[in-house]
Amino acid sequence: DLSISLEKLNKVFFSIYLNKGIYYTKIGNIDLKGIEGLSPNLTFIEFDSPRNNAHLFHIGKVGGTVSERSYENNFLKSVSLVLISKDRKISNNSLLVIGACHQAKIDDVKFIANSNNTSLTSSELLSISKYNNAKLANAAIEFNGASELISFNNIFTLSDVGILFSKGTDFVNISNYTSWNGNNGLATVYFEDPAVSNIIFSGNQSWSQGLYGIYAKNGTAYSNFVNVKFENVRIEQLNTNIKKENKIVATSLWFGDYTYVPNLILNNIMLAGTANGIKFGKIQDGNIKLNDILVFNDFKVSKKFAIEAKFKEKGNLELYLNNVNLASDAPVSFENSNYNDGISRNNHFKNEVISNK
């Protein structure tokens, strides 16, 4: 079992180099130091998970605090991580957990969890859409601990959830990311905890399938999405099978209710017309910038909104819309704001600032 082998090797070596082949573990829960393969198409690490609530690798203490943070500059490079379960249906598994760690680097890695026993069914996805219980899903990558200065580059995920933010993190760079969610996937990026800061998704971001591109739950902390930027993102082929009141549930970008959102930026985003567009819940204070957004029309799909935002009556929120071209076949809604229908033409916004009344 790879878990037993690495436990012994890690006592002597920090960097482990794997040749061509498939390496197996049924134990998982491996403390990752440094692993490099030949390429994601030649070196595979397969986790045959026997249970729910498990993971293959972790870097740093899972759920750890700042005082428990590790400073080992861990790395994972040029491999494929594969989640299977031969014996039973599993949920709430992750291939890689970023725990309390500093300056870890993940480069040229594929994360695959799309077997029958590791993927959501259509009925499970329907249940999640009603009750918001994401623990039924499995994730490729999970942030769960006080991490900082984490770098991902050239990664691919095929899983119910691509990247799950279970706990807040700081200074994360995710570049050149391709995501497929499978037939009944949930979301490319899912924020269980939106109290994150200094995160940037950049390079080429190609996200396909799932019920959401981004889904972010309501925040409990005062500040959420502090200096966070998503850019160069294309979202397409979202699930059109789940409907509510004859309108599709699928939404490209879904953000919840927050007290303060300082500097959330969406830049150079292209969205397919087969889903609702952009949703912001009740937000009291902050500034959100939408730059160069293009949404295609699809008149065959009945959508609830092109964009929806709720401004609190006693708040100070500014929503900047610069060259934002939303779907013209769905309504826009800016509740408790200074918005009037005259500032857009067919849901196209050239350079507008929408704020509280």
The answer to whether residue 201 scores a pLDDT higher than 80 is yes
Rounded CA-CA distance 292/288 in Å is 13
0.85 cut: is pTM over it?
yes
* Burial class (CB within 10 angstroms; exposed 0-12, middle 13-18, buried 19+) of 244: exposed
* Burial class (CB within 10 angstroms; exposed 0-12, middle 13-18, buried 19+) of 127: middle
Q: What is the mean predicted confidence (pLDDT) over 48-68?
A: 97
pLDDT at site 301: 85
249-274: pLDDT as tens digits? 999 999 999 999 999 999 999 998 78
Q: Name which residue leads in pLDDT, 272 or 178.
A: 178
pLDDT at site 319: 97
Does residue 327 contact residue 307 with C-beta atoms inside 8 Å?
no
The answer to whether residue 345 scores a pLDDT higher than 70 is no
Q: What is the mean predicted confidence (pLDDT) over 22-42?
A: 97
Phi-psi region of 155 (alpha: psi -120 to 50; beta: other; left: phi over 0): beta
The answer to whether residue 342 scores a pLDDT higher than 60 is no
pLDDT at site 245: 85
Q: What percent of the chain has pLDDT over 90?
A: 85
Q: What percent of the chain has pLDDT over 70?
A: 99
Confidence of residue 279 (pLDDT cuts 50, 70, 90): very high
Confidence of residue 179 (pLDDT cuts 50, 70, 90): very high
Q: What is the mean predicted confidence (pLDDT) over 158-173?
A: 97
Q: What is the mean predicted confidence (pLDDT) over 38-64?
A: 97
Beta bridge partners of residue 172, listed in sequence order = 150, 199
pLDDT at site 347: 87
Residue located via tokens 């695959």? 112
206-246: pLDDT as tens digits? 999 999 999 999 999 999 999 999 999 999 999 999 988 88
Q: What is the CA radius of gyration of the chain?
A: 21
pLDDT at site 12: 93
The answer to whether residue 354 scores a pLDDT higher than 70 is yes
Q: Name which residue leads in pLDDT, 135 or 237.
A: 237
pLDDT at site 343: 60
pLDDT at site 199: 98
291-309: pLDDT as tens digits? 999 988 888 888 899 999 9
